[in-house]
């Protein structure tokens, strides 16, 4: 029998296979059949079947009456213990709520995660525009305000590495030229905040500022709004105050 390896050829551990199966799920695909899991995880059906059964036993997957698998409650429960939820999210929440009251626009908080912007929280409602971001979801680093901030405050090497890979185009306004993006990132870091104009969603723009701790950018705070009613100077002002307030909150205890 051939050893444990993906079709790509790289050997992979049993635990890696389990994680690969769990990683098949995303916002678009929250309920998957066994075949779909087998296809996406690149594992043979029989292997997928066994891995899935073990994940179900452990409470990491649940099988619905529709024969589809969904992420189990236990993953959610354990995930609540992650520092990003337990520390950042909880401490920032009151400030995010206040920002929303002040602006009436969508407020987003994101961190860098595996080369993408991970949305830790999003506060907003019918009063504001519809956005692509969603708590727990990922978006590219070069098409949103928070993404640009997270990238701009990275080390030059990390930035180069990001620029070396092809940049996805989400809208016609997305900056996909590495040279232009590099200039944009430099400007962002110099002026202290990022702006995105219809680079992620048509009609929407965003402004974002970093939350800095010890020189490192631990998160980015942003506002998403219709380009037409975006008072940038005012938004930058309230955002920077809020970022400062979150930073202090984080410093308070450890």
Site residues (CB under 7 A) for DNA, limited to 28-67: 33-36, 43-47, 49-51, 67
At closest approach, how far in Å is the CB of 57 from a second copy?
7
Q: With respect to a second copy, which residue has the nearer C-beta, 66 or 157?
A: 66
Residues 124-143 that bind a second copy (CB under 8 A): 135-138
DSSP string covering 140-170: -SSSSHHHHHHHHTS-HHHHHHHHHSPPP-S
If binding is defined by CB under 8 A, does position 101 make contact with a second copy? no
- Residue from 42, 75, 129, 176 touching a second copy (CB under 8 A): that is 75
Contact 105, 225 (CB under 8 A): yes
Q: Does the footprint of DNA cover residue 1 (CB under 7 A)?
A: yes
141 phi and psi angles, rounded to 5 deg: -80, -20
Q: How far apart are CA 212 and CA 64, in angstroms?
A: 43
DSSP-derived secondary structure letter, 5: B
Cα separation of 138 and 110, whole Å? 9
Query: 218 contacts which partner out of a second copy, DNA, none, CB within 5 to 8 A by kind?
Result: none
33 contact, one of DNA, a second copy, none, CB 5-8 Å limit per kind: DNA
Is the CB of 94 or the CB of 192 nearer to a second copy? 94
Name 65's Cβ contacts closer than 8 Å, sequence gap at least 6.
none
Q: Which is nearer to DNA, 83 or 166 (CB)?
A: 83
Nearer to a second copy, 26 or 33 (CB): 26
196 neighbors 205 (Cβ within 8 angstroms): yes
We find the least distance from the C-beta atom of residue 63 to DNA, in angstroms, to be 8
Which parts of 150-232 are beta strand (E)? 194-197, 204-213, 216-226
How far is residue 74's CA from residue 10's CA, in Å, rounded to a whole number? 30
Nearest approach in angstroms of CB 18 to DNA is 9
User: Cα separation of 56 and 37, whole Å?
Assistant: 14
Site residues for a second copy per CB under 8 A: 13-19, 22-23, 25-27, 30, 51, 54-55, 57-60, 62, 70-86, 111, 113-114, 118, 135-138
Site residues for DNA per CB under 7 A: 1-5, 11, 13-15, 17, 33-36, 43-47, 49-51, 67-68
């Amino acid at each position: 029998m051939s050893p444990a390896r993906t079709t790509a050829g790289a050997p992979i551990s049993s635990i890696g296979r389990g994680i690969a199966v769990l990683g098949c799920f995303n916002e678009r695909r929250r309920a998957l059949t066994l075949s779909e899991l087998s296809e996406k995880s690149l594992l043979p059906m029989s292997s997928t079947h066994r891995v899935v059964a073990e994940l179900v036993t452990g409470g990491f997957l649940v099988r619905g009456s529709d024969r589809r698998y969904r992420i189990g409650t236990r993953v959610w429960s354990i995930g609540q213990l992650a520092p990003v939820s337990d520390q950042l999210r909880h401490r920032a929440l009151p400030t995010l709520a206040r920002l929303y009251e002040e602006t009436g626009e969508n407020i987003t908080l994101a961190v860098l995660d595996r080369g993408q912007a991970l949305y830790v929280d999003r506060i907003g409602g019918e009063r504001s525009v519809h956005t692509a971001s969603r708590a727990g979801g990922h978006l590219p680093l070069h098409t949103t305000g928070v993404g640009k901030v997270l990238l701009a405050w990275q080390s030059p090497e990390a930035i180069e590495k990001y620029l070396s890979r092809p940049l996805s185009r989400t809208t016609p306004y997305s900056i996909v030229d590495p040279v232009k993006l590099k200039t944009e990132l430099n400007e962002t870091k110099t002026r202290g905040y990022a702006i995105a104009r219809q680079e992620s969603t048509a009609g929407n723009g965003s402004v974002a500022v970093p939350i800095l701790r010890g020189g490192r950018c631990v998160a980015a705070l942003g506002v998403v709004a219709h380009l037409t009613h975006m008072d940038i100077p005012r938004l930058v002002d309230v955002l920077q105050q809020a970022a400062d307030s979150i930073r202090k909150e984080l410093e308070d205890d450890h």
